[in-house]
Each structure stands twice: as structure tokens, then as C-alpha cells.
Chain A
Amino acid sequence: MTIAETMPKPRRNVELLLLMLALSVSIGANALISVDEKTALDTDFWFQSSLLAVAALVFHVVLRFRAKYADPVILPIVVALNGLGLAMIHRLDAPGEDTGNNQLRWTLIAMAVAIAVIWFLKDHRVLRRFTYISLAVSALLLILPLVPGISAGEILGARVWIKLGPMTFQPGEVAKITLAIFFAGYLSSNRDLIMLAGRKIGPLQFPRFKDMGPMITAWLVSIGVLIFQRDLGSSVLFFGLFIVMIYVATSRISWVVIGLALILGGGFVASKVFSHVALRIDGWLNAFTEEVFGRSPGGSGQIVEGLFGMASGGLVGTGLGQGRPNLVPFANSDMIIASFGEELGLIGLFAIVLMYLLLFTRGFRAALGTRDAFGKLLACGLSFAVALQCFVVIGGVTRLIPLTGLTTPFLAAGGSSLLANWIIVGLLLMISHTARGPVDTTPLQPAGAPEAKKPGRAPAAGRPGRNATQTLPDAPTEAVKQL
């Protein structure tokens, strides 16, 4: 038995291989959109493709240096999704529009920020110190779009943007990360308190009323977002994030019951009181009636045209660049899933949904593997936020639930969303590095090991324990061989 067999492998070469495949998907998509036009494979195309490829490879090299044991499939999945989004946005650009290049610029910025997070943060446990600071930052970020002067005003019925020089930015996207950090820090220190006390009613153990404080706060925050920013999607996202994190922390189903009751109650009242919520729900239930279809604002025209687009795509799609997804309003942002449904068909759309699913499972795998409660909760929360966002958007586009204005992670046009999601990827990669690193996956050690170690040694996250290999049992199990 060699030492290499007992050590968890970094598997960075697997990542490089998958990354090549992901890049060929991205660049292939970009090539196909204009394959029978004059502009096919011109210098612009090669310039954009090589920029994306170089950025992805730089990210890969950084992982080799800083997070050697990070999950090898997260980066390829994200690069493939981002590349598909870039190609589709580029394809939907009318002559003279520049959304595609703008998205490429934001992709590069977002990847640079994610690299910086990995390079400078090194260990996610540092974030635990910022528990209450990140609560304050989240509050600030959520209030910013309402402050006159900074606010970009009401765009498309929602007040979620701020002005940043010539650009606009959606601070709510970043707030989901800071909120996840706060929930993870708060719940990992206080879960004993929340978990132990409580009264049992039927099969459920309900928490004490005074432990409900954080949940009431989270509920008020999401109701506030709904009322003042008129943003139904973010409101659902923040509250869903909190319910899941408290459920993961305490494993009490009663929290989910209470949370769902609160959200249904709040949603029912909101649909009676606020016209924008009522219009969304009407546009969902009665999408195909003529008056609802043509109504402005709040008609169902966008959803129905998206459905028609996907229907014309059928099983295999019209082919990239061959369909007419630009007939749908906001085809490159809110409705980009419908655009993919039309041009790649059901088979292609399922591939995209599966990529999200795989990304989500890798996030949870990192949460299972990491040893500290804070890291577990953070990885769960972040990957669930991405999954919930996908559900809300794809469910809305396919008319499973009312359409709300959330962005499709990595695909939709929009810089703030890209930036926030790449930061999430950076954090997940870092957590998976500690989860898959040598300490956690080495088999149980025999006695006598603690004397050999010195106190005050750096947290062993990145360092193989040398004495572990000498005292291992002789025959490796099947599982260890497969490592």
C-alpha cells in the first residue's frame, strides 16, 4: 500500500479535463449562434472565446495553488452554464446592442472577484467572526435601493437597483450571501438553545416563543422587501433561505411548518392588499384569457409567448441561432430559460436543469464533508439559495408557480447576479477544500496519535497528517482504493 492511496486526491487533473469539455460547450455554443452568417468565426468570436478560456484556466491554476482539494466538478459546471448564457445573450443582441460584451465584461470581473475571495480568505471559518457585521451589511444593502440619490428609482415596477456611476447594481443579490453568513454564524452558536427548549404538540416539538425572534425578524425582512421594494422573488428567496438553514441547524420539522404558515399567510394578505402581487397571481392562473394576455402592466403575454417559444422548440429544439426567441420580452434575462427551451429543446433544457442539480448536490456534499457547524450551514444555505432561485425562475417561466423577477443564476444577463453567484462558487469551492482535505477523509486513527502532534499547529485543513499514514491498518478497504 502506498501513501498516495491512503491520501485523498486533489483531482485537479479531472477538473482540467472537465473544464476543457465545459469550454468546448461554451465556445461551441458561441460558434453555432452565427454559423451561417457572414460574421461566423470572425476575430471578435476568437477574442471573446479566448478571454473566457483564459479566465477559466486562470481560475483552475489558482485552485491548484490555494484550494488543492476543492471539488473538481463545481468549476466546470459553472463555466459551462456561464458560457451558454454568454452565447445566448450574444445571440439575442439586436444589431448595435452590446449586452453580450457587457455580460462578458461582468463575467471576467465576477471571476476575478471569486479568485480574490479564494486567494485572500483562505479559510471560510474566518467569516464566522463577521456574523453580526454581515447582518448590518445585509440591512444596509437592502435599504440602499430605497435611499433617494443612490437609488436608481423604480425600474419595471421594482425598486431594487442603485446607481453606480454609469451602471446600475442590484445590492439584494449580494445581500443573500451576507444573510447566509449571518444565519450560519447565528444558528451555529445558538442552535442548542433553540433545539432543547420547547413544547411538544402532537408529533411536532414547537419552539419557545422567545426563540422565535430570529424567525419573526426574517419574516418581517422579507415582507419589507415585498412592500417597499415590490420584489416578490427576493422576498421568497430570503425567507426560504432562513427556513432551510434553521431546519438544517435544528432538524425540527416544526420550523418548516411555522415558516410555511407564515409565508402562506403573508402571501395571502399581500395578494389582497398589493396590486402587483395580485396581478402576478392572476397572470399565472388565467394566463390564456385574452384580457389578461394583453393587459399592461402585469399581463401574462411574456409567460405565454415564452411557452409558445418552448413549444415550437419541441424535443430537440430549433438549433442555436435558428429559432426566434427574441419575440419574447426580456428574452435574455428573465426569460432566458424559454430562449434555451426554444433553441435547444427539451433535451437541451434538461441538460441545463441537470447542471444546476449537480451543482446543488456538490454544495451539499461539501456541507456533509466539512467538520465545522458554521461551514456546514453556510454551504447548505448558499447552495440552497442557488437552487431556490432556479426553482422560482424556471417554475415561473414554465407556469408552475407565478412568475417573479429573480435572475437565472449564471445564465441571465445582469452583472450583480453574476458577481454574487461567482462569489458563492468561490465560497463553496473553499468549503469543499476543507471538506475533502486530508484530515476529514483519512480513516479513523489508532491510539497514540495526539501525543505526536504539537499544540497550536495550524488548522490541519490543507496539510496531510504524516503520522496517520504510518499507523494505518494494512489492507485498504475497497472504498479507500477507489479514492
Chain B
Amino acid sequence: MSELTITALRFGFLLLLWVLIFSIVSAMRRDLMIGRKAATGAPTARQVRKNPELAEPPPAPVKQQARQLVVTEGPLKGTTLPLAASPILLGRAQEATLVLEDDYASGRHARLFPQGSRWFIEDLGSTNGTYLADQQLTRALPVDLGVPVRIGKTVIELRP
């Protein structure tokens, strides 16, 4: 085979390699859009430092701390649970902090945890989902006082 053909094939192969890479990258580009859509909610500390306009308005200075958890609807209606500094596991499983006797709740349904001065709720991959003020959770979100959190047929609230 002639020298010229071999050189052409050689460069052709390098070109093919990069064609593959650029096709992969362009196939991924659409995925990045989902990422941007999914990135709602509270911005991270680093994002805030870079773009000060992202920062949420600082919470009211004399904000009351959540001290108890109250079940307002569902089979356990009226139950209250004092909040300490440790996370709370909600679900039907016996090891849960608040054992929900609710057919629509999963074993390990959701997790309520303190961070800074706020409490956050996170869904643990439950079957029927967790709803914070009628929005289904896709990531951990802060829970404010008096905002209903729905798990199956149970609704809980944080109270001062």
C-alpha cells in the first residue's frame, strides 16, 4: 500500500476518534439542560459567593425556632414530638423515630434533619413521595414553621 494512503488513513483515524468524542459531547448537551432545570431550590454557599444576586433575603432576625413536630392529619392526628438536635426518621418501619401507621407511607419514608438553624426534609426514595406545601420533593428542602408536610395520608407541621 502506498505511503500516501497510509498517511491518509492515519490522520483519518485520529479524525474519527475526535468525531466520536464530539458526537458523545453533543449527545450529552441535552442532558445538561435537565441539570439546569433540576437545579432549583437553595443555591450553595459557593454559588452565592460568585453570584451575590442568588442569595436569599436573610431570614427575619427574631425568627422562632421549631421546638415540636405536630401531626395535623391522618391516623396519628394530634401526636406531638419534641425536636432535639438529632435527625428524625419518618416511616412505617419500627426503627423510625415517628412510626407512621399509614398504609400510604413507606418503611423508611422521609428524613427530617436540622442544619444551621433550620430543619430540612428529604425523601428517602419512598413509593408515594413526600409533599412540602403541595410540591413533591425531589431534593432536601427547608421546612418553615407551619408549612404542611404530607406523607401518604399523614400531614405534619413544625411548631415553635
Contacts and interface: CB of A to CB of B under 8 A. Distances in A.
Interface of A: 8, 11, 14, 17-18, 21-22, 24-25, 28-29, 32, 35-36, 72-73, 76-77, 80, 125, 192, 196, 316-317, 319-320, 322, 344-345, 347-348, 351, 354-355, 358, 361-362, 365, 368-369, 371-373, 440-441, 443-447, 449-450, 453, 455-457, 459-460, 477-480, 482-483
Contacts of B50: none
Contacts of B36: 479
B85 A196 contact: yes
B83 to A, nearest CB: 14
B126 to A, nearest CB: 9
Contacts of A344: 13-14, 17
Contacts of B7: 319
B64 interface: no
Residue among A351, A445, A450, A479 having the largest count of chain B Cβ atoms under 10 Å? A450
Chain A interface, DSSP helix/strand/loop, else mixed: helix
Contacts of B51: none
A28 B10 CA distance: 10
Nearest to A21: B20
Nearest to B31: A365
Contacts of A319: 6-7, 9-10
A63 B21 CA distance: 22
A441 B35 CA distance: 10
Interface in B37-57: 37-38
B28 A444 contact: no
B113 interface: yes
Contacts of B38: 369, 441
B123 interface: yes
Nearest to A343: B10
Interface residues of B, number: 47
B150 A450 contact: yes
A348 B17 contact: yes
A113 B7 CA distance: 39
Given A73-B24, A344-B14, A450 B134 contact: no
B27 interface: yes
Contacts of A479: 33-34, 36-37
Contacts of A459: 125, 127
A192 B87 contact: yes
A84 to B, nearest CB: 9
Interface of B: 1, 6-7, 9-11, 13-14, 16-21, 23-25, 27-28, 30-31, 33-38, 85-87, 103-104, 113, 123-125, 127-129, 131, 134-136, 138, 150, 152-153
Contacts of B27: 11, 14, 18, 72-73
A483 B30 contact: yes
Nearest to B132: A444
Contacts of B21: 351, 354-355, 358
A36 B5 CA distance: 10
Residue among B9, B24, B27 having the largest count of chain A Cβ atoms under 10 Å? B24
Contact of A450 (B28, B37, B85, B131): B131
Given A32-B9, A455-B103, A444 B37 contact: no
Given A25-B16, A36-B6, A477-B37, A453 B128 contact: yes
Given A72-B27, A440-B138, A455 B34 contact: no
A443 B18 CA distance: 35
Contacts of B35: 365, 368
A426 B105 CA distance: 31
B16 A24 contact: yes
Contacts of A24: 16
A445 B20 contact: no
5 contacts: A17-B23, A316-B10, A450-B104, A453-B104, A453-B128
Contact of A77 (B24, B131, B152, B153): B24
Contact of A192 (B28, B113, B152): B113
Contacts of A446: 134
Nearest to B37: A479
Given A32-B13, A76-B24, A371-B125, A444 B138 contact: yes
A296 to B, nearest CB: 36
Given A371-B125, A479-B33, A483-B34, A317 B10 contact: yes
